Structure 1
Amino acid sequence: MSVADTKPVSFARGAPSLDIVDVEGLKAAALAAFDSDPAGVTGYGTSVGYVPLREWIAKKHGVHVDQVMVTNGSMQADAFLFDQLVKADTPVIVERPTYDRTLLGLRERRGQLHPITLDEDGLDVAELRALLESGVRPAIAHIIPNFQNPAGVTLSMPKRQELLALAEQYGFIIFEDDPYHDVRFRGESMPRLLDMDGGKGNVVYASSFSKTVCPGVRVGYLVGPSGLISQICKAATNTYIAPNMVAQAIVHQFAVSGALENSVKTVRHALNERADALAAALRKHLPEAKFTVPDGGYFLWVELGEDIDVDALLHAAAARHVAVVKGTDFLLEGGQGSLRLAYSAVRAEDIDEGVRRLAEAVHSLR
């Protein structure tokens, strides 16, 4: 086997590859942060996060600064929100499939999970309406509206409107988990549910700089009603006093310098090229596979058929130096024959070879 044949290809991790991370821009932002605000960068700070970044986020979303909290990554924002709203047997709406760590966090809090089918245009709102009409009263509905992880689909405008109407009618909070909004690489951008809600308090919004800057900064944030954010900040104070001021100050300088805007452009271009390359490779090597090519984000969901055991496929692919994530990880039940492929970390020139090996693994099981 040649060196080229043994080079690992990983479709497993939703992270940008190093070649599209602006390392020099981050170095400059770090220097600027320490030069401009050494006391703020090196001090404890408070649980709301680095104040200048908090103010920048508030301005970005057109909300009062009291509605914003900056956290150590958006997963920590999720955890704080779930701690406030989800107790044992609390009904919770989730998408089917959905992010595996979301399922883990909600199950650890013993929430009563109600998965709702995802269509090509997002959540099956009719199915949700039927559930609500049956008497289920969720506290929260977790929605990834743009380029959903793992399915890659986007919630359509009519469904956004209907979902907001249902939240108001039945009194639940929409948790808009939206780290991929800014990495759309084709098509028209959709308005955020947060913006469409018009300040009614039916939406809590979370996002992250992991997908637009780099995962290593571990900076995310929550936007929501000021009373709820205040409660979460108190819990955060008791947990860690304050999040990482150094990382948040660097992100702030990266944003205000214009480097963030340039970084987003770089990431979008690379993702577009990689998504197209992955779709072409799947059509070439696995023509029987079913998938929807996303208009942004990091992931593509592939249906290979019920005759494929994804547990066995995981090992067969690994033997060929290809890493994938099995679809069963993203569902409470089902998902056999499905995979999530992350194209963000794979250079375009390596994608065809990776899919060729994956196809070889699939065919070995048949």
Structure 2
Amino acid sequence: MTAEQLISFARGAPSLDIIDIEGLKAAAVRALDADPAGVTAYGTSLGYPPLREWIAKKHGVAVDQVLVTNGSLQADAFLFEHLVQPGDAVVVERPTYDRTLLNLQAQGGDLHSVTIHPDGLDTDELGKLLESGVRPKLAHIIPNYQNPAGVTLSLEKRRALLALAVEYGFTIFEDDPYADIRFRGEKLPSMLSLDEHGVVVHASSFTKTVCPGVRVGYLVGPAALIAEIAKKATNLYISPGMFAQATVYQFCVSGDIDRSIAKVSSALGERSRLLAEALRAQIPGVRFYEPDGGYFLWIELPPDVLVDRLAPAAAERGVAVVKGSDFLVEGGHHALRLAYSAVTADQVEEGVRRLAAAVDEVRGQR
């Protein structure tokens, strides 16, 4: 590896070496052989019917509760447009996914950020916010290996959040694309599976388990809500990409999805471990929580390290990072999100070495 090569901790995407290219090739051929008419037609705005049925079975819901979209970010956008009007209160995690903040702000939402801890959202803090009179339309939650913080919402807090949603009449948006990428720890039930009152809308994606290029995500929610969003989808694009969805379906029913998840989880578990070891060894004073799965590690740097200075200094050394301030309405000026998903194991230590050199430079500035 030469010094000129960019090492990117910026993008939450799997590196090419852990994507099942051969499996995807075979799945695409099977999709065309099995259903040439369905794959090449416009189809329905609800998505490719066999994939909808597979997703419904996975989550134990009726097929009319499933809408398959062009990536889960589009699913998010549909839901935000449907539920959030200008001035509506919306609860978000602090920190949270940067594009969630941008999309909700574009909708005119009144954002209320609630602290997250190693066991997820502070439900006591949320309870006090609700008691103060705030009545959110929506609470956006990333329950597993959260982006950017890497934390997982505990079972106790999942139940507490559901109870609050029922009591105060808001929708929980369970944004859950990372759930299957687990290195250790027990698998927790989704809030969708625990929901007895129809307060949860669930979103996920095949971006993290298959590859980003397929652009296949989905929403699961009450049938009436899904039908309303499907009408908007019809007007927007008639139907999502049937070829991509049919390919994903064949990839799933063949069992390739399970092998892909195992490969990605194993590789990312190793990269996460190596990244944690390198950070401890090379950057004194750094603080972080090691995730049990997912793509991201959130680091807090000493107060004399401003990431507005650190990010360009790191870029000059050939390492890309994302500033923590991008994931917060305010704050995050000493934090970074590091994505270890696209960095191969042999790049991790060198990437941290470059980052550590940038930290030293920034500390030396007045």
For the aligned pair, the TM-score class normalised by the smaller chain equals over 0.9
SS state of the match for residue 154, structure 1? Answer: coil
Matched, 1:143 2:141: yes
2:64 is the counterpart of 1:66: yes
Shift of 1:175: 0.1
- What is the 5 A alignment of 1:90-101? 90-101=88-99
Q: CA RMSD in A?
A: 0.7
Distance 2:362 2:173 in 1: 40
Partner of residue 169 from structure 1, selected from 167, 170, 176: 167
The alpha carbon displacement at 1:4 in A equals: 2.2
What aligned pairs does 1:1-366 form with structure 2 within 5 A after superposition?
Answer: 4-198=2-196, 200-366=197-363
- In 2, the alpha carbon distance for the partners of 1:98 and 1:355 equals 24
Return the letter of the residue paired with 2:272.
A
**SS across alignment from 2:342:** coil
| 1:99-138 deviation line (CA, Å, top 9, x unaligned) | 0000000000000000001111110111100000011110
- Residue 193 of structure 2 aligns with an amino acid whose one-letter code is D
Q: Distance in 1 between matches of 2:117 and 2:345?
A: 28
Q: TM-score, normalised by structure 1?
A: 0.98
TM-score (norm 2): 0.98
CA distances 1:277-310 after superposition (whole Å, capped 9, x unpaired): 0000001101310000000000000000221121
How many equivalent residue pairs? 363
SS in 2 for 1:5: coil
In structure 1, C-alpha distance between the alignment counterparts of 2:357 and 2:253, rounded to whole Å: 47
Q: Which amino acid aligns with 1:218?
A: R
How far apart are residue 160 of structure 1 and its match? 0.7
**Unpaired runs of at least 5, structure 2:** none
Rounded to whole Å, the distance in 2 between the matches of 1:305 and 1:65 is: 50
Which structure 1 residue ranges, 4+ long, deviate > 6 Å from structure 2? none
- Quote the offset at 1:8 in angstroms: 1.2
Distance of 1:149 and 1:365 partners within structure 2: 26
Identity %, equivalent residues: 66
